[in-house]
Amino acid sequence: MQEPEEKKIALELLETEQAYVNRLHLLDQIFYTELMKEAKNAKTVPEEVVKMIFSNISSIYQFHAKFFLPELQKRMEDWSRNPRIGDVIQKLAPFLKMYGEYVKNFDKAVELITVWSEKSPPFQELIADIQKRKVCANLTLQHHMLEPVQRIPRYELLLKDYVQKLPPESPDREDAEKALEMIFMVAKHSNAAIAETERLQNLWVVYQRLGLEDDIVDPSNELIKEGPIQKISTRNNSTSEKYLFLFNNMLLYCVPKVIQVGAEFQVHLRIDVNGLKVRELNDTQFPHTFLISGKQRTLELQARSGEEMNAWIK
């Protein structure tokens, strides 16, 4: 007699979970433990660096090895009497939030491995030595570290498949659907963590280009648009090259620096977005012109095209 489809998927979940716990064991109990020992005894790499590379991998490993995998195993042994996994996955979902921290740290971790492999030959040698072992299956540390990043999307796919294959009258339907919704929220949570990190990194790059002026640096700011613009001088009928940065709370009117040491731009004017008015001007001499008037100042600016002008006005 053929196994029901939903049982096959539940078994696949169990098998991939066993393989995943082995991978976590390798990361936490072998790579992390041995590199930490090296850092403590031989001082070839700071302990802090090793901790930053592996983030909260120990908590993730403990959770899967001591809680989730044993629970799944018990369920599958008992399948003929009680064919369900939805309730177990519901218990798992809230703990998956700890992946946010690991995922957010991943790019930084990979960068630290690269930097310290160059700085410290013994650190690089120890990693290479572990990578040669059979348990590593000819894969690099970075490759193994990617596994937790990919695990939540994997749960989501397997669970989606499981819910689709469940017969309508299945006792697990309600729990499985709820579990899927919870896993979906967690996946969103870890994606949001990545997006937030990227936003802060991009913001930091912008602040560096502006020379890190104290009153501008604020992590809650959001960059909406930036780009070159021509400032029209009505006094002598000419234009000069300027640059705008539009944030959610302010517009920075900047001048490109001739000698770009450090900052690329000098902030000439900061106009609050609150109360800012923008309107198109019909100037025959200078096409694609618009007027910005704010509390601090009014500027007549010219874009390179009608499309670009509309993008600023919007």
Same structural domain for residues 36 and 147?
Answer: yes
Phi, psi of 304 (to 5 degrees): -80, -20
For residues 173 and 247, membership in a common domain is answered with: no
pLDDT single digits (tens) 87-119: 999 988 888 888 888 988 988 999 899 999 999
pLDDT of residue 103: 87
In a domain, 145, yes or no: yes
Q: Are residues 170 and 267 in the same domain?
A: no
Q: How many domains does the chain have?
A: 2
Q: Which of 209, 238, 262 is the last residue of a domain?
A: 209
Burial of 259 (0-12, 13-18, 19+ CB in 10 A): exposed
pTM across the whole model: 0.67
- Burial-class residue 34 by CB neighbours within 10 Å (0-12, 13-18, 19+): middle
CATH, residue 121:
1.20.900.10
Phi then psi for residue 43, to 5 deg, are 55, 35
Domain containing 268: what range?
223-313
**Chain segment 207-264, per-residue pLDDT in tens:** 778 776 656 666 677 888 888 877 877 777 777 788 888 888 888 888 887 766 667 7
